[in-house]
């Protein structure tokens, strides 16, 4: 009976440690270094009294080319793709070839790749997520991609060029080609 209790206790502790490790990784707790908007900047992009969709979109459009809001607002030296599968996804990392990093950043900041619309989905529905790293190996950006079912994205830090997070037909096609082309990945 004591042996069974020890096994149960060991499995419980191990499961708890794995759960904490998984949570910390999802939150980029140990390696995140995001350049988030200031409180004053974030007010620009929030729904305000008297707004309609057109007023909000106009505010977004005014800042499409503003370098203060370019994704991810830091120098990126490495991009990694992960399958969004709990725990297992951590072991599916693929590095984007160095010569494609700038292309990926251009994709993220090109308004033609994104569309306006409702973004009612959960990041758990996404097939992939991408982490962007700086030279200190800190995560400076993260994007979830829901491709097959909804064509949506969720990015951190916020970037107005990504509009409300919906992919345009062009953007969906571009990101699928990037992800599915094995020559783009190490």
Looking at residue 98, its pLDDT comes to: 95
Q: What distance, in Å, lies between the first and last C-alpha atoms of the chain?
A: 50
Confidence band (pLDDT; 50, 70, 90) for 100?
very high
29 has pLDDT over 70: no
Lowest-confidence segment of 16-20, 106-110, 126-130 by average pLDDT: 16-20
Looking at residue 30, its pLDDT comes to: 61
26 has pLDDT over 70: no
Choose among 157, 179, 167, 150: nearest CA to 34: 157
Tell me which long-range contacts 20-25 makes (C-beta under 8 A, separation of at least 24).
22/86, 22/87, 22/90, 25/90
Q: Return the higher-pLDDT residue of 6 and 74.
A: 74
Mean pLDDT on 146-151: 87
Domain positions in the chain are 1-30, 34-184
Q: What is the DSSP letter of 36?
A: P
Q: Return the higher-pLDDT residue of 24 and 166.
A: 166
Show the tokens assigned to 126.
């996404």
28 has pLDDT over 70: no
Confidence band (pLDDT; 50, 70, 90) for 24?
low
Confidence band (pLDDT; 50, 70, 90) for 134?
very high
Confidence band (pLDDT; 50, 70, 90) for 120?
confident
62 has pLDDT over 60: yes
Give the helix ranges, DSSP H, for 45-184: 53-62, 101-109, 169-180
pLDDT digits (tens, 9 = 90+) for 75-86: 999 999 999 988
pLDDT averaged over the chain? 88
């Amino acid at each position: 009976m004591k042996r069974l209790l020890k096994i149960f206790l060991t499995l419980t502790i191990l499961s708890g440690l794995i759960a904490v490790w998984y949570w910390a990784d999802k939150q980029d707790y140990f390696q995140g270094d995001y350049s988030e908007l200031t409180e004053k900047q974030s007010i620009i992009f929030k729904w305000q009294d008297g707004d309609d969709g057109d007023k909000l979109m106009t505010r977004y459009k005014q800042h499409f080319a503003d370098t203060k809001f370019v994704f991810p607002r830091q120098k990126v030296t490495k991009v990694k793709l992960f399958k969004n599968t709990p725990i297992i996804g951590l072991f599916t990392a693929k590095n984007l070839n160095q010569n494609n990093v700038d292309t990926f950043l251009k994709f993220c900041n090109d308004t033609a790749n994104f569309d306006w619309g409702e973004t009612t989905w959960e990041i758990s529905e996404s097939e992939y997520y991408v982490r962007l790293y700086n030279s200190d190996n800190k995560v400076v950006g993260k994007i979830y991609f829901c491709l097959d079912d909804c064509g949506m994205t969720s990015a951190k830090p916020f970037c107005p060029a990504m509009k409300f997070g919906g992919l345009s037909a062009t953007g969906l096609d571009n990101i699928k080609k990037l992800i599915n082309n094995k020559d783009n990945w190490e």
